Structure 1
Amino acid sequence: MNYDQLTNHRPAEIELIRDMARGALSAKQKKKMEQEIERPPDTREAFIIKPASQWLQSDEQPHDNQCLFGDFWYRDELCILFADTNVGKSILAVQIGDALSKGEPLLHPFETPPQAQKVLYFDFELSAQQFEKRYSTRHSRYVFSDNFYRLVFNPHATGQKRFNSYAEYMNNAIENVLVSTGARTLIIDNITCLRTGTEATAGAVSLMRNLQTIKQKYGLSILVLAHTPKRNPARPITRNDLQGSKMLINFADSAFAIGESQTQAGLRYLKQIKQRSGQQLYGTANVCLFRVVKPLNFLKMEFIDNAAEAAHLMAYTEQHRRDTERHIQLLHSQGRSIRFIADEMGVSRMAVHRVVKRLGEEM
C-alpha cells in the first residue's frame, strides 16, 4: 500500500490532529472534518439539541419529486385520509399504493414519483375474497408489482404476550416488517383496527404518536385511513368530521377527505383539510370530482373535474330541518344522550340541545 493509500485510510480524527499540527485549519477544512467525525445522537438522551442555524446546514440533497399523491400527500409525511364508510377510501389507497410501487402516473393531474418503490399496505378491512373480487374478473387478474405488499393480521400469532401492551406489540411488529422488507412507504387501512382498549380516541391518539416516532426513526411516508362518524351532508367537510377530530389531526403532517356528492349519484370528491408541505389547492372552492369505475380488472377512482364543494352538498330545506328534528326527538325519547345524538346525526351538540330544549318547552 503506497503513501496516498495510507493517508486515505486514516481515521478522520487522526487527519484532523495532523492538520492542526501543521497549522490552523481553514473554515472549509474545519467544517468538512467536523462533518466527517460527527457522531450519531446519544441514545441515552431524549432530545437532540443543536443551534437553529446548524439545522440549515444539511448536505442532503432534496428529493427531485416530493409528491406521493399530488399536493395531498408528500414524502416523509404522516397523512390522514378520512371518509364515511363505503365511500372509497380503500379503493383510492390501493390505487395510490399500486402507482407508487410501479413508478407510474396515478391520476391526472396528480403527481407521483417517477421511480418505483416498495409499499406496505396494511389491509384490515377486506377479506382475501373481497380483495380478489375488486382486482379480478372471471377471465383475468390484475398484475400488481412485486414492490406492493399486502399485509393482514395473522390469527395464529402468539407474540403479543411478550409485550407490556398491545401498542408495544404493534410497534414492534411494524418495525420488524420495515427491517425485513426495506420499505419506507406505509398505508394503514384503517387506524381503528390497530388500537385496543375501551377509550377509542385515546387508543387512536397513542397510535398516531407512535407512528410519528417510527416515521422519524426510519424516514417513512405514512398514509393512515380513518372513518368519520355520521355527519350532516348539508355541511362542508372539516377537520371536526374526523373521528377523534383535532386530537388526531394534530399528529398528522397533512390530511384530506373523500366526500360523497349529494346532487349527482356516484360522484365522490377529494378535499384538502390540512397541509404543511404543499399548497392549499383543493379546498372548499376547488374540490376534485371522481367516479368509481372498474375497467377490466382494477377498481379505481377516475378523475372528472374540479368544482365548488357547495355544489355537491345537500340543500338545507325546511323539510330537511323538520326531518332532522323528528329524528332528534325520536333518539331523545329512547334515552340517548345529547352527545350520542349529535354524533349519530352529524350535527353539533349545541344544535341538539336547542332542539331538545324547545321540544320540551312545547310539551
Structure 2
Amino acid sequence: MATQIAECLARDKRIPPFDDRQTPALEPKKVLYIDFELDRAQFRQRYAVIGEDGVTLEDKYEMSPNFLRGEDYWDGNMIEGYYSFTDMLLQDFDNRIADHDVQILIIDNLSFLTPGTIANATVAFKLMHQLQKLKKSREISILIVAHTPKSLRHGPLTEQDLQGSGDLVKVADSIFAIGRSRLSPDLRYLKQIKCRSGRIEYGEDNVAVYRLAKFDLAAQLGTKVADATSSENFLGFDFLASESEEGHFALRRRYSTGSTVKRTKRSGRIGRAKRLASEGRSLSEIALLLGIGKSTAKRYVNDA
C-alpha cells in the first residue's frame, strides 16, 4: 500500500474509494520513498509481470518520475560528529529532501530507524519528535509504516495494535491501519484510527475492503498509453467495497459449538450476499468478498 500511495501522490491521483472527493486539482508531488524492506530485485518483481519461466520480468510498471526510491546501504560505521545511528540517518534524509525538493517522505518501516526497540516508550517518543522536527523544518508531509500483529484478530483494529502504540499515537497527526480479512487470504481492509484535523469517515462501520493482487494500476489511474494492452503488473490494493469491519475479523469459536458457528457464519454470509446484490455487485464480486465460489454466491443471493 505504501508504494501505491507514493505512486498516486507522485501523479496527483487518488486511491479508490478516496477518489470521489470534489477537490481542486493539485500539482504532482515529489515523493521520496525510503525502503528498508525490499532490495532492488525484490522491488522489481512486485511491479512487473513474471514470465512463464518464473524468472524473467516482463512488462515492467513505469513509476512516475516524481517517485524517488532509496535503500539503506549503511556499512555499520558511525560518521564522525554523530552520536547515534538515528541522528545520522535523519540528517541523511534531510540532505536528500533538500537536494531533490522533496515534498513527501515515506518511510518503510519505523523499526529500522533506531537500533532500540520501538516498543520502548522513550525510544518511540524521541524518534517521533525527531521526525516532527524534520517535517516542520522542511515543510513536508511524512508517512511512516509501522507493524501491527499479522495474525487474524478476534476484534476490531485499535490504536493498541500499533507497534509502540502509546507514544506514537500521541505524536502522529493521523493513523490508519490495514487488517487481514478472515473471508479470504487475499482480502485486506483499511480503517482510520486517528484523524487530528478532520472526522473519521472509514471507521469500524465503514472500512475500505481491497483485494491484494497484481492489477493494471495504470489503467485505473488513467495514465496508460492509449494503444497499450492491459497488463496486471502492479502488486497493490484493488478496491472492492466499503463494509463493516465486523464481517472481516475472526470469530471467537470458544463461545459456541462448531455447528452453531457454522450456522451463524452461513446466515451472515447469506445476508451480506443479498445486500451486496442489492447494491449492484456481480456474482464474481460477491464471491470474492465472501470467500466463496460463484455458484455458492448465486445460491446465497437466491436464498428465500
Aligned with 1:162: secondary structure? coil
Partner in structure 1 of residue 187 of structure 2: 267
Change (3 A) 1:106 1:229: closer
- The alpha-carbon deviation at position 252 of structure 1 amounts to 0.1
CA contact (8 A) 2:152 2:182 kept: no
Whose RCO is larger (CA < 8 A, sep 6+)?
Answer: 1
The one of 242, 265, 276 equivalent to 2:162 is 242
Cα deviation per residue 1:191-239 (whole Å; 9 max; x = unaligned)? 0001113675233322111001111111111110001246661111100
- Once residues 96 and 188 of structure 1 are traced to their aligned partners in structure 2, the CA distance between those partners, rounded to angstroms, is 12
Cα deviation per residue 1:29-62 (whole Å; 9 max; x = unaligned)? xxxxxxxxxxxxxxxxxxxxxxxxxxxxxxxxxx
Q: Considering only aligned residues, what root-mean-square deviation do their CA atoms show, in Å?
A: 2.3
The answer to whether structure 1 residue 305 and structure 2 residue 244 are counterparts is no
Partner in structure 1 of residue 136 of structure 2: 216
CA contact (8 A) 1:231 1:241 kept: no
Partner in structure 2 of residue 145 of structure 1: 64
- Once residues 254 and 225 of structure 1 are traced to their aligned partners in structure 2, the CA distance between those partners, rounded to angstroms, is 12
What stretches of structure 1 of length at least 5 have no aligned partner?
A: 1-91, 322-363
Letter in 2 for 1:307: E
TM-score (norm 2): 0.70
Letter in 1 for 2:236: K
- Once residues 200 and 293 of structure 1 are traced to their aligned partners in structure 2, the CA distance between those partners, rounded to angstroms, is 31
- The alpha-carbon deviation at position 280 of structure 1 amounts to 1.1
Cα deviation per residue 1:250-279 (whole Å; 9 max; x = unaligned)? 110000000111133421100010001232
The answer to whether structure 1 residue 123 and structure 2 residue 32 are counterparts is no
- The alpha-carbon deviation at position 105 of structure 1 amounts to 3.4
Aligned with 1:160: secondary structure? coil
What stretches of structure 2 of length at least 5 have no aligned partner?
A: 50-56, 216-231, 258-304
- Once residues 205 and 181 of structure 1 are traced to their aligned partners in structure 2, the CA distance between those partners, rounded to angstroms, is 28
The one of 229, 253, 270 equivalent to 1:317 is 253
The answer to whether structure 1 residue 289 and structure 2 residue 289 are counterparts is no
- Once residues 88 and 256 of structure 2 are traced to their aligned partners in structure 1, the CA distance between those partners, rounded to angstroms, is 47
Letter in 2 for 1:144: M
Change (3 A) 1:320 1:200: farther
- Once residues 122 and 320 of structure 1 are traced to their aligned partners in structure 2, the CA distance between those partners, rounded to angstroms, is 46
- The alpha-carbon deviation at position 320 of structure 1 amounts to 8.8
The answer to whether structure 1 residue 135 and structure 2 residue 54 are counterparts is no
User: Rg larger in 1 or in 2?
Assistant: 1
Aligned with 2:189: secondary structure? strand
Change (3 A) 1:230 1:205: farther
Aligned with 1:206: secondary structure? helix
- Once residues 142 and 235 of structure 2 are traced to their aligned partners in structure 1, the CA distance between those partners, rounded to angstroms, is 22
- Once residues 255 and 199 of structure 1 are traced to their aligned partners in structure 2, the CA distance between those partners, rounded to angstroms, is 16
- Once residues 72 and 212 of structure 2 are traced to their aligned partners in structure 1, the CA distance between those partners, rounded to angstroms, is 27
> Mean Cα displacement is larger for which, 223-232 or 234-243?
223-232
- Once residues 46 and 159 of structure 2 are traced to their aligned partners in structure 1, the CA distance between those partners, rounded to angstroms, is 30
Letter in 1 for 2:31: V
- The alpha-carbon deviation at position 162 of structure 1 amounts to 2.7
- The alpha-carbon deviation at position 96 of structure 1 amounts to 0.7
TM-score (norm 1): 0.59
The one of 100, 107, 111 equivalent to 1:188 is 107
Question: What does residue range 1-363 of structure 1 map to in structure 2 within 5 Å?
Answer: 92-110=1-19, 114-137=26-49, 138-156=57-75, 158=77, 160-197=79-116, 200-201=119-120, 202-229=122-149, 233-295=153-215, 296-318=232-254
- Once residues 199 and 149 of structure 1 are traced to their aligned partners in structure 2, the CA distance between those partners, rounded to angstroms, is 26
